[in-house]
Structure 1
Amino acid sequence: MAPRVEHLVTSGQFSLDGGTWDVDNNVWIVGDDHEAIVIDAAHDADAIAAAVGDRRLAAIVCTHAHNDHIDAAPALAERTGATIWLHHDDLPLWAQTHPDREPDAWLVDGQVIEAGGADLRVLHTPGHAPGAVCLYDPGLATVFTGDTLFQGGPGATGRSFSHFPTIIDSIRDRLLTLPPETKVLTGHGDSTTIGAEAPHLQEWIARGH
């Protein structure tokens, strides 16, 4: 059975550096009728668990550890028995939201997380956060970019733990080298493709200086 991608939007707040903003987050569920992976357990464990249904939840993969992408992860893991995965470089950010519970496993660049027919290859793409990752499934011709790449440009780099030149390097070297037809499913807002974003790299660089 071929894997499929399901989309849920949850609402809550993003807090960092003393500020708080209302946000809508994309939650992605990848798998088949029996097993699934959740990418970014944002805000609402009940809604995410309902979308997963009676399938086995194999993993909760965090693209990075800003609170709006991980706030529901422990509750969802407790309910389902799923393993929470995060890149170790984002542990300081994780600890701001969940000081008493570490993730269960560490993401490493190049590893493949398999479940429900999906093969999600981890691409370490720092810049928006030190441990930011994207997840690329060649069979689905899809990359889940979290807050690294959006429709229209890079993720924000104006707050703690972020760095504009680093995110540009990550996008250029790790994402824009993917096939142009690759779908880009983001952490917030609308989807795009690698082919639609690639021509604008120099504009983003100019805008960032």
Structure 2
Amino acid sequence: MEVADGIYEFSGVSNFYIVLDKEIFVIDTGMPGNADKIIKYLEKELHHEPKDIKTIVITHHHFDHTGSLDKLKKITGAKVAINGEDAEYLTDEKSQAGSAFMVPLIKLLNFIYRIKPVKPDIILGEGDHVGDYQVIHTPGHTPGSICLYNPITKVIFTGDNLQYADGKIKGPGSRLIPEPEQYKKSIEKLGELDIEVILTGHGKPVTSDANKKLAEYIKNL
């Protein structure tokens, strides 16, 4: 579970994280049903109370990253932070964009799981900070996709911008990149950073040769 010092990963349909920083925060919440899992681990393994989680950071508005957000917010009282370009999807003021297959599927899942809209407390922009982590706005996958980068530990959370499998960094796939030019610019911006650990929204963590592997991916974009 501990993928880097003070960082605990939960995997499932998507990856989500507890981060012990200046304060405790959570990055994404996975599918519905994960709130209790997060709280149980926090209490039994990390010896903290639910109220110790101060912020829930959402890397982007997609269902598999926000499914447990409403419940986790109610349990912890934490503030919800998201980029402004994705905020209205979280509140249901904007409808889910996507393919003719995905949009009805998301609506059906929302109905089945009774997902409730959540109003963000914090709007994150380029250069803002959550603890020691710098917010990097990386549109392309969604308009408000963000990464969180710690220049001290050289750890970056990339949400769905990157995946890692079979020893290679990949993207989310062309069908999930509605703005390919924006996406390319976003990933090239990440390539300028000094990175040692990449923690993704799907797939395994990158814990060695992170910059080299990222450069190889960017070269083929």
AA of the residue aligned to 1:51: Y
1:39 alignment counterpart? 27
Q: Matches of 1:107 and 1:188 in 2, distance apart?
A: 22
Q: What is the TM-score when the length of structure 2 is the normalising length? A: 0.75
Q: Matches of 1:82 and 1:90 in 2, distance apart?
A: 19
Structure 2 regions of 5+ residues with no counterpart? 96-109
Deviation, structure 1 residue 52: 2.2
Instruction: Report the CA distance shift for 1:45/1:71 in structure 2 as closer, same or farther (over 3 A).
Output: same
Matched, 1:191 2:205: yes
Q: Among the aligned pairs, what percent are the same residue?
A: 30
Deviation, structure 1 residue 35: 4.1
1:163 alignment counterpart? 179
Does the CA-based 8 Å contact 2:70-2:117 persist in structure 1? Answer: no
Q: Matches of 2:181 and 2:171 in 1, distance apart?
A: 11
SS of equivalent to 1:60: strand
Does the CA-based 8 Å contact 1:127-1:157 persist in structure 2? Answer: no
AA of the residue aligned to 1:86: I
Q: Deviations over 1:14-53 (max 9, x none)?
A: xxxxxxxxxx211111106x94110001121111112222
AA of the residue aligned to 1:37: F
SS of equivalent to 2:156: strand
Among 63, 67, 72, the alignment partner of 1:67 is 63
Instruction: Report the CA distance shift for 1:110/1:5 in structure 2 as closer, same or farther (over 3 A).
Output: same
2:11 alignment counterpart? 9
Q: What is the TM-score when the length of structure 1 is the normalising length? A: 0.79
Q: Matches of 2:55 and 2:188 in 1, distance apart?
A: 28
User: Which is richer in strand?
Assistant: 1
1:123 alignment counterpart? 136
SS of equivalent to 1:178: coil
Deviation, structure 1 residue 195: 2.3
AA of the residue aligned to 1:200: Y
Deviation, structure 1 residue 140: 2.1
Does the CA-based 8 Å contact 1:154-1:167 persist in structure 2? Answer: no
Does the CA-based 8 Å contact 2:191-2:218 persist in structure 1? Answer: no
Matched, 1:81 2:77: yes
Deviation, structure 1 residue 4: 1.0
2:41 alignment counterpart? 51
Q: Deviations over 1:79-124 (max 9, x none)?
A: 011111111101343225666432121111101111xxxx111000
Q: Matches of 1:100 and 1:185 in 2, distance apart?
A: 27
Does the CA-based 8 Å contact 1:129-1:162 persist in structure 2? Answer: yes
SS of equivalent to 2:65: helix
Instruction: Report the CA distance shift for 1:100/1:188 in structure 2 as closer, same or farther (over 3 A).
Output: closer
Matched, 1:176 2:195: no
Does the CA-based 8 Å contact 2:70-2:116 persist in structure 1? Answer: no
Superposed CA RMSD in Å reads 2.2
Among 104, 119, 131, the alignment partner of 1:102 is 119
Q: Matches of 1:52 and 1:93 in 2, distance apart?
A: 28
Q: Matches of 2:80 and 2:173 in 1, distance apart?
A: 24
Q: Matches of 1:51 and 1:112 in 2, distance apart?
A: 25
